[in-house]
Amino acid sequence: MKLAKNLISILFLLWTVKSQAPPQRAQSVAKHRIQVQALPYIPPPSISPDEKGNQIPDFSNVGYREGAVPLPVVPVKIILEPSTDHTVDDRQRIQDAIDKVGQLPMSPLLLRDGKTKIQVRGAVLLKAGVYRVNGTLILNQSGVVLRGEGNHGPDGPDGVEGVGTVIVATGKYVHDFIYINGLLNSKQGTPESILSNRNYRDGGGESGGSIKDLRPKNYYRRKIKRAIPLADEYIPSGSLRIPVKDITNFQPGTEIIVERLAKQAWMDMIGMGRFAAQPGTFPTTLSWETIQFNFRYFRKVTRVEKMLSDQSSNPPQTSNPLPPPSPPSPPPPPLTSPNLGDTSKAPLRRRRVPNLLPLVESNSEPRIQQTRHRRRLSRRGLFDPDGFFDTSSLPARESTPYSGDDNWSDNIPDGDNDFADDDDEEDMPRGDRPSEPDDPAWVPGYLHLNIPTVMDMDPTYGPGEVFPFEYKIAIPSDIGVENIALYSVFDRTVTNSESNPLEDENHAWFAVVVDHCENCWVADVRTRYFVSGINLAPASKHVTVQDCEITEPISTARDGGRRYMYLIKGQMGLVKRCFASDARHDFITGAKTRGPNVFVDSTGIRANNDAGPHNRWSMGTLYDNIHSRNLNVRNRGWIGAGQGWCGVNHVIYRCSTDVKSRFQSPPGGSNWVIGFEGALGDQMFEFEGRDATMIDIDSSMPRSLYWAQLVKRLGGTEAIAVDVEGWVGVAGKNKYPPKGSVTTTS
Ligand SMILES: *[C@@H]1O[C@H](CO)[C@@H](O)[C@H](O)[C@H]1NC(C)=O
Ligand SMILES: *[C@@H]1O[C@H](CO)[C@@H](O)[C@H](O)[C@H]1NC(C)=O
Ligand SMILES: *[C@@H]1O[C@H](CO)[C@@H](O)[C@H](O)[C@H]1NC(C)=O
């Protein structure tokens, strides 16, 4: 303890000596503009469904234990002090502590709401000071928390003294820094393991940063041989009750996967069956393969309802009778390619796409700011992790650069492997397969779901089916990383003089990757100089990211796959009260991301590209009180070798941007924009599509759709809003996280 304090004073001395100017915040932008989140309670606006009956879903079940449960304050079991010797690598020491706590028995913990009881093992507390980690830290056991004593870092917020806890990622090679992932073994985090497995990290932005080659392909299995088809009728998005052909295998509480199978007719209807490639490259077309677009949604059955014998079909789920589904849109215009057959089969390669938003053209102000800011950053020794943390004994740039560049492609059909199961016939478009005959023993009925559908299902374009499942490898829960600053070293000699002086990429990429787990959190984590930020990967669900700050990424800003600050590819993810600077994409979902997912009350500044659903049809994202430089929900055409339609059932609620943003709805579905503040239009490229449903805000509408839906789901009274505010709102945040080791128990 004393040692740590001494170290801190020494470090302080060091900065004072090194820095010419007094340390100052890189940003003075207000990050948490919202002082009260759930209050006063104003019910969600009632927005009528679209012409097919699709309605804005209830997004409120996202996040840690469905969003209304305070994050647990897990008792400390192991306390580590920083090393006094800055040449010592702390990875093994910290990993051993994590693994040791992972061996402890579970004990019950009552959360601050006074009702939720969970099982936890304990926290590893890193006392204030600087730790150095060469490699990756892995948390794979339920109920284990990695906690620091403050995230202010060496250049802490105004008026705060001390470094808090800083972990420096010292590895000068491509890697992700902290994994929460129940499929990984901590041995996989050693630098040797990372360096000898070029596929260790097989993807940045788009392919999710998951460790595919080192984990089993099929991690869950169906509990019944044949998936049960949904009834042969149109089932709109936003439904909490779905008609199925057989209810026999379902009870309240059954964990199910609802799957929507893609048909070629759907691809053609949305214009993604074949579409034009980037003009001026080579004559070709792009296409989406149906086999990559079967969507699996994790849900739970809350009630099973038998169909009355005279109910031949699904009664309408809304109070208004549903009109029949509208006819399909006309087929896309014929394409000019002379050579369809070949090119549609050729693997799509990653192609450099010019930066969508060249800062000069659209708005010169941010660029000037950024350049100044970068200059400041390079001038100040304080901001040089190499200098400051004295890594002079480390080798310079790794001589073998990461060679997996091809695998950064946008085109890896990620998610499919993750969600494959034993019975899949991978080589066959499943939605177009002739359906097996119905079983006469089936008992038709309805399943009530805990979380609404976020995509319509229907026999013509995308039939649905459902099955109970179980994990082959237990999915861990209640893992957290909290109250810590993470810094990455980088090589400051790798520069691009033009606009962006610091472009080294041989260092840590994502600061935190969360995958194969549920009900986990990343809270009060502040990162600097990583390539990207926090990644909720495809096999994560119900993860909360709150009060985090991801600033000053070091990488090129001109290429894709980098500077994804808050990336959600999993399900039921929640990002709230977060901040980012200098992103490419500050708040973003990946290809085929299946919602609901929510970004709320968060700000990004100086992004080099846009926020929003990014790529290849994601579903059910709420952007609520988000400010970003640019936010789009649109057809993205050939961008990124065929990002195409970014998807459906997205809601933009009271968001604002600095530059023109474009909101569109795809054929056959709707996106909603409510109370947008900013200019509308295409920032650079325009692709065909009708406008999204634009709704003006009026004074009867709540400040935030997410918070209004959450309070409504729990009962919709002012008293409940007060509880919610105290558990998970700003007031709840002020009681969390623990500021020190106050919760230590033996
Ligand atoms: C990290 O580990 C690798 C592999 O052992 C080694 O080559 C490298 O020098 C280490 N870097 C640091 C900063 O310790
Ligand atoms: C989790 O990590 C521990 C410690 O490395 C290891 O013993 C265990 O096998 C890991 N679990 C899985 C599923 O790999
Ligand atoms: C890219 O991924 C493919 C498929 O996983 C693999 O076969 C190939 O070796 C990888 N390429 C590199 C350069 O890592």
The residue whose C-alpha atom lies closest to atom 1 belonging to ligand 3 is 407
**Dihedral of alpha carbons 180, 182, 183, 188, sign:** positive
pLDDT at 152: 80
Residue type for position 662: R
Substitution site in 194, 200, 407, 418 for ligand 3 pocket (most atoms within 8 Å of beta carbon): 407
Residue 598: closest CA among 622, 617, 614, 580: 622
Eight-class DSSP state of 93: H
Q: Report the atom number in ligand 1 closest to the C-alpha of 195.
A: 4
pLDDT at 431: 86
Substitution site in 140, 219, 477 for ligand 2 pocket (most atoms within 8 Å of beta carbon): 140
- Residue 97, CB-side half-sphere exposure with 13 Å CA sphere: 19
CA of 195 from ligand 3 middle (Å) equals: 15
CA of 460 from ligand 2 middle (Å) equals: 45
Eight-class DSSP state of 35: S
Torsion of CA 558, 560, 561, 562, to 10 degrees: 20
Structure-block tokens of residue 639: 């961008």
Q: Report the atom number in ligand 3 closest to the C-alpha of 406.
A: 13
Helix, strand, coil share of the chain (percent; to 5): 15, 25, 55
Rounded distance, CA 36 to CA 55, Å? 28
Rounded distance, CA 54 to CA 620, Å? 12
Q: Which ligand minimizes its atom distance to the CA of 399?
A: 1
CA of 402 from ligand 1 middle (Å) equals: 15
Eight-class DSSP state of 408: G
**3-class DSSP assignment, residue 554:** coil
CA of 479 from ligand 1 middle (Å) equals: 28
Residue type for position 49: P
Does ligand 1 have an atom closer than 6 angstroms to the CB of 89? Answer: yes
Rounded distance, CA 6 to CA 67, Å? 41
Q: Measured between alpha carbons, how far is residue 303 from residues 246, 251, 366, 445, 583 in Å?
A: 14, 7, 52, 11, 43
Structure-block tokens of residue 115: 């009702």
pLDDT at 11: 41
Phi/psi of residue 108, each to 5°? -75, 150
Substitution site in 194, 406, 417 for ligand 3 pocket (most atoms within 8 Å of beta carbon): 406
Q: Which ligand minimizes its atom distance to the CA of 409?
A: 3
Q: Report the atom number in ligand 3 closest to the C-alpha of 407.
A: 1
H/E stretch holding 94 reads: helix 91-103
The residue whose C-alpha atom lies closest to atom 4 belonging to ligand 3 is 407
Rounded distance, CA 449 to CA 242, Å? 8
User: In this structure, are residues 535 and 564 in contact, taking their beta carbons and an 8 Å threshold?
Assistant: yes
Structure-block tokens of residue 481: 């990383």
CA of 350 from ligand 3 middle (Å) equals: 14
CA of 191 from ligand 1 middle (Å) equals: 7
Q: Which ligand minimizes its atom distance to the CA of 189?
A: 2
Residue 738: closest CA among 558, 484, 493: 484
The residue whose C-alpha atom lies closest to atom 6 belonging to ligand 1 is 191
The residue whose C-alpha atom lies closest to atom 13 belonging to ligand 2 is 183
Rounded distance, CA 125 to CA 79, Å? 5
Q: Report the atom number in ligand 3 closest to the C-alpha of 403.
A: 13
Cβ-based neighbours of 205, under 8 Å, separated by 6 or more: 408, 532, 560, 561, 562, 564, 567, 584, 585, 588, 590
Torsion of CA 329, 330, 332, 333, to 10 degrees: -150
Substitution site in 186, 211, 515, 516 for ligand 2 pocket (most atoms within 8 Å of beta carbon): 186
User: In this structure, are residues 695 and 4 in contact, taking their beta carbons and an 8 Å threshold?
Assistant: no
Does ligand 1 have an atom closer than 6 angstroms to the CB of 321? Answer: no
Ligand 3: list residues with CB < 6 Å.
198-199, 403-404, 406-407
Distance of CA 423 to the CA centre of its chain: 28
Q: Which ligand minimizes its atom distance to the CA of 144?
A: 2
pLDDT digits (tens, 9 = 90+) for 148-206: 998 887 765 544 555 789 999 999 988 899 999 887 888 888 998 887 765 444 443 33
Structure-block tokens of residue 741: 């080791």
Rounded distance, CA 195 to CA 579, Å? 32
DSSP class per residue in 280-303: TS-S-EE---GGGG-EEEEEEEEE
Rounded distance, CA 700 to CA 574, Å? 25
H/E stretch holding 243 reads: strand 241-244
Q: Which ligand minimizes its atom distance to the CA of 100?
A: 2
Rounded distance, CA 462 to CA 295, Å? 10
Strands (E), 393-463: 445-449
CA of 564 from ligand 2 middle (Å) equals: 28
CA of 212 from ligand 3 middle (Å) equals: 11
Structure-block tokens of residue 271: 């214009």
Residue 521: closest CA among 546, 538, 551: 546
pLDDT at 349: 37
The residue whose C-alpha atom lies closest to atom 3 belonging to ligand 1 is 191
Structure-block tokens of residue 712: 């409504």
Q: Which ligand minimizes its atom distance to the CA of 181?
A: 2
pLDDT at 500: 57
Ligand 2: list residues with CB < 6 Å.
99, 140, 182-186, 473
The residue whose C-alpha atom lies closest to atom 3 belonging to ligand 2 is 185
Q: Which ligand minimizes its atom distance to the CA of 413?
A: 3
Strands (E), 552-692: 564-568, 574-576, 579-581, 585-589, 594-605, 612-613, 618-628, 647-648, 651-653, 656-657, 664-665, 672-674, 690-691
CA of 186 from ligand 2 middle (Å) equals: 6
Phi/psi of residue 522, each to 5°? -130, 115
**Dihedral of alpha carbons 725, 727, 731, 732, sign:** negative
Does ligand 1 have an atom closer than 6 angstroms to the CB of 395? Answer: yes
Q: Which ligand minimizes its atom distance to the CA of 390?
A: 1
pLDDT digits (tens, 9 = 90+) for 84-119: 888 899 999 999 999 999 999 999 999 988 889 999
Phi/psi of residue 63, each to 5°? 90, 180
Task: Tokens 């647990």: give the residue.
Answer: 72
Q: Please count the other Cβ atoms lying within 10 Å of the Cβ belonging to residue 325.
A: 17
Task: Tokens 């397969």: give the residue.
Answer: 433
The residue whose C-alpha atom lies closest to atom 9 belonging to ligand 2 is 185
Q: Residue 51: left (phi > 0), alpha (psi -120 to 50), or beta?
A: alpha
Give the β-pairing of 122-126 and 76-80: parallel
Torsion of CA 120, 124, 128, 132, to 10 degrees: -140
**3-class DSSP assignment, residue 622:** strand
H/E stretch holding 260 reads: strand 255-260
Rounded distance, CA 447 to CA 620, Å? 20
Does ligand 1 have an atom closer than 6 angstroms to the CB of 394? Answer: yes
Distance of CA 599 to the CA centre of its chain: 9
Q: Report the atom number in ligand 2 closest to the C-alpha of 141.
A: 1
Substitution site in 86, 87, 93, 134 for ligand 1 pocket (most atoms within 8 Å of beta carbon): 134
Low-confidence ranges of the chain (pLDDT < 50): 1-30, 158-159, 199-215, 313-426, 740-746
pLDDT at 562: 86
Task: Supply the pTM of this predicted model.
Answer: 0.82
Phi/psi of residue 606, each to 5°? 55, 30
Q: Which letter, b or e, does each residue of 607-642 get, where b requires 16 or more Cβ atoms within 10 Å of its Cβ? A: bbbbbbbbbbbbbbbbbbbbbbbbbbbbbbbbbbbb
CA of 556 from ligand 1 middle (Å) equals: 24
